[in-house]
Structure 1
């Protein structure tokens, strides 16, 4: 009950704050008055309250205050719900012929889109710190699947699950072990379903001991993001509908349109910063300002990959000299084709890399259709020697990206093999929403500098 009330209070507070900020914005634009801070003083305020109550009802109906979900999955549900309610509110105002300031009403809903996820995040953090949102969990299983289950829980902190132990064998003692560890949740992660033990254990835990049971089936290598579950009346059969979105023509065109719009807006937004970066490079080391390197793109075709030059002009020649003059440095570079303290970097180059400003010229590659805003990191020729044929085929099926899962999952701290695994996962599980989530995580990573070189 405490958790439900906390999340509900957070949403109500977010709606009230959205309305207050919208009124303040309207007053500054000379299209509103301060007495409308109390929403019932105007028809538009009453209409917004009605819409907010409808949204709260939709959230409750969808289990937003009781169920646990990954943060970005929850944001997706919140935004879709708000979009429907907001459109309904606008339609109601039109048919009821309510006189109101459209700027204020629109601003209130836009702010609600931003503030409600922030309120959810803040409330979940408070509940986690107080222990109200934390559930002790026991993982049952061994091998890759159990490791993946633990890692997924660790990465999604706001699920509130805390893995306190892992049990390898699926025996009748699992229930006693879970009780001894005060676990309310048991996660069953079998390596396969050849044995009946996972099914028997799940049945015992749910019917006899009333644990909350989560089943993590071994589906590695399959497109799981957005997977649809189809069950049937009076049948134990369950179908999992797989979707390889990036193989669909409509998805390819949707991604391309999003890339063109995103790259165009980013160029307009960051053009002053790009001019400043170019000036810094020119003042420190002269021309050229840009660094062009041949990379492997979609279909295995080569293209010119652009960056702001962050190294001295003879950087490639210096790298070749490391083979004989500094073999230990060259060996360190070969592990991930990067160095944290690369001696070839310009003074301004360190800052350009840390803030990822050196990547901004790749927006031109996006507009040219050679790259995407989000995708696998483009390979160098020498990197292909370390890639399996299956991974190469997956990589060549899409456009490489400016940012991607590798960059937001540790960036340069991630090993080369992990980079391949993350890029392959992205290709299998692409969605437009996934691209948006990666872009949002990229902003956070750039601002914190975590993992950057």
Structure 2
């Protein structure tokens, strides 16, 4: 099973520097799956609470299994006349915490939709990491390594065995509880969708609780009275919200194996976790046969910026970096302000109306780089040079803009004029990294992607700024924004911020 976050129609994950040339455009709606452009759904406390309810019992059971296994190992060592050579009461709590952190990173919590083989592998890796940290901790705390090696080996074997057995029992018990697991939509215009629905309904230990089936009634010859049938593809969002569904399993139609965009796109704006079931099997087949087992083979698309924890992480990064940058750059900001004031008439700052989160307007602040009455001067210039009007209407930019002052041209080249937007970041109107802020007249150019664009805060920098900036077309810019929203991660933000430094220093694509 592959767990990656990709644009739906991408044939591969292109490096960020090459995204503008990759076929990543999504958002094209098929007539069979009508949807209205709207904001991407954001999930909040209900999702967090469901994640806690699903994860916490497994955390408790795992820690109990570890404590039991290590205690039994210690007792066996004493019975055989040996000594473990360590204080378990002091060492176990931090080691157990490390196990939980590693387990969460490996996806053991909440541990949804893992095959027995994959869950076994991840448990062994987590235990191995725990024992590696355990060994290093003993070496640091004690001058000599007096822990018996066979005690560690026995503990490792018992921990691995006990964890696997405890997990198996826990899943069976928890699966019988209605509050455990995640409500799930099963989507597909193929009879395999009904089979997957029935399998999930009879396999609650997987942790995906089927709400019902989304399908084109004519494709499955349904009359609408089936108890498991929810509606057609246009109703995905309403059923996801009403049913509090956070997962969707999409089964591609056999007639559309070459293009799965239409099969997946309706779910992406409504469900944070979309699992595209492998077209080779339809149902899980990890054992090499066709019988269902505990795992669904396919590609997992996770909409990170739908999730409250991910959004909180992004906000914390914004606050820490923006505050630090304002403090460090204060002398530079003062120097730029003086240069603006002493070289041209007008205010130091310029606030331009832009569209932000959920389509709300805000003032994006910059150091003023243009002369007074800039709009009037632009109209006069375009009237005198009609051959440049097409260039302006195409990208809302001119290679040589007569409105820009001498020092303003330098500031724009180095992107110094945008430093006041750090204040917008602190106010929560912008993010350090995100799509380029746009004006109302640009909405039409985003088309069906506008709802996706307004699902996040615009950024001071972003994928567009490090991928050619003004040397890219507007369509490529839209694709870059879409790619960013679909594939956001903290590491992507950090990478783009570092790339921005190089882009600014070499003034790549700036004018």
What's the counterpart of residue 232 of structure 1? 286
Name the count of aligned residue pairs: 258
Determine which of 384, 397, 416 is the counterpart of 1:338.
397
Q: CA deviation at 1:287?
A: 3.2
What's the counterpart of residue 99 of structure 2? none
2:305 is paired with a residue of what secondary structure? helix
What's the counterpart of residue 116 of structure 1? none
2:414 equivalent to 1:355 = yes
What's the counterpart of residue 301 of structure 1? 360
What's the counterpart of residue 472 of structure 2? 414
Contact 2:275-2:298 at 8 Å conserved across structures: no
1:311 is paired with a residue of what secondary structure? coil
Cα distance in 1 between the residues matched to 2:407 and 2:133: 48
Relative to 1, partners in 2 of residues 1:238 and 1:88: Cα closer, same or farther, differing over 3 Å? same
Cα distance in 2 between the residues matched to 1:422 and 1:429: 10
Q: CA deviation at 1:272?
A: 1.4
Contact 1:290-1:307 at 8 Å conserved across structures: yes
Give 5+ residue unaligned stretches, structure 2: 1-128, 145-252, 279-283, 291-295
What's the counterpart of residue 462 of structure 2? 404
CA RMSD of aligned residues (A): 3.4
2:491 equivalent to 1:433 = yes
Contact 1:309-1:358 at 8 Å conserved across structures: yes
2:379 equivalent to 1:320 = yes
Contact 1:297-1:303 at 8 Å conserved across structures: yes
2:350 equivalent to 1:291 = yes
Q: Deviations over 1:181-207 (max 9, x none)?
A: xxxxxxxxxxx98699x9xxxxxxxxx
Cα distance in 2 between the residues matched to 1:252 and 1:408: 23
Give matches, 1:174-189, under 5 Å.
none
2:353 is paired with a residue of what secondary structure? strand
Cα distance in 2 between the residues matched to 1:372 and 1:415: 23
Cα distance in 1 between the residues matched to 2:256 and 2:362: 50
What's the counterpart of residue 424 of structure 1? 482
Task: Compare CA radii of gyration and give the structure with the larger one.
Answer: 2
Cα distance in 1 between the residues matched to 2:474 and 2:136: 50
Give 5+ residue unaligned stretches, structure 1: 1-82, 99-191, 199-216
Q: CA deviation at 1:437?
A: 1.1
Q: CA deviation at 1:90?
A: 8.0
What's the counterpart of residue 95 of structure 1? 141
Cα distance in 1 between the residues matched to 2:416 and 2:490: 24
Contact 1:225-1:429 at 8 Å conserved across structures: no
Give matches, 1:124-273, under 5 Å.
232-235=286-289, 238-273=297-332
1:328 is paired with a residue of what secondary structure? helix
Q: Which has the higher contact order (CA 8 A, sep 6+)?
A: 2
Q: CA deviation at 1:385?
A: 3.2
Q: CA deviation at 1:88?
A: 8.1
Q: CA deviation at 1:261?
A: 0.7
What's the counterpart of residue 147 of structure 1? none
Relative to 1, partners in 2 of residues 1:89 and 1:267: Cα closer, same or farther, differing over 3 Å? farther
Q: Deviations over 1:351-394 (max 9, x none)?
A: 10111101100000000000001111111122123231x21111
Q: CA deviation at 1:265?
A: 1.0
Cα distance in 1 between the residues matched to 2:414 and 2:136: 41
Relative to 1, partners in 2 of residues 1:257 and 1:195: Cα closer, same or farther, differing over 3 Å? closer
Higher helix residue share: 1
Relative to 1, partners in 2 of residues 1:227 and 1:324: Cα closer, same or farther, differing over 3 Å? same
Q: CA deviation at 1:422?
A: 0.7
Cα distance in 1 between the residues matched to 2:285 and 2:332: 53
TM norm structure 2: 0.46
2:401 is paired with a residue of what secondary structure? coil
Relative to 1, partners in 2 of residues 1:195 and 1:377: Cα closer, same or farther, differing over 3 Å? closer
Contact 1:354-1:449 at 8 Å conserved across structures: yes
Contact 2:351-2:365 at 8 Å conserved across structures: yes
Q: Deviations over 1:138-195 (max 9, x none)?
A: xxxxxxxxxxxxxxxxxxxxxxxxxxxxxxxxxxxxxxxxxxxxxxxxxxxxxx9869
2:510 equivalent to 1:452 = yes
Q: CA deviation at 1:232?
A: 2.0
Contact 2:414-2:505 at 8 Å conserved across structures: yes
Q: CA deviation at 1:325?
A: 3.0
Relative to 1, partners in 2 of residues 1:225 and 1:354: Cα closer, same or farther, differing over 3 Å? farther
1:242 is paired with a residue of what secondary structure? strand
1:288 is paired with a residue of what secondary structure? coil
Contact 2:436-2:461 at 8 Å conserved across structures: yes
2:334 equivalent to 1:275 = yes
Relative to 1, partners in 2 of residues 1:296 and 1:373: Cα closer, same or farther, differing over 3 Å? same
Contact 1:322-1:330 at 8 Å conserved across structures: no
Q: CA deviation at 1:280?
A: 1.1
Q: CA deviation at 1:327?
A: 2.0
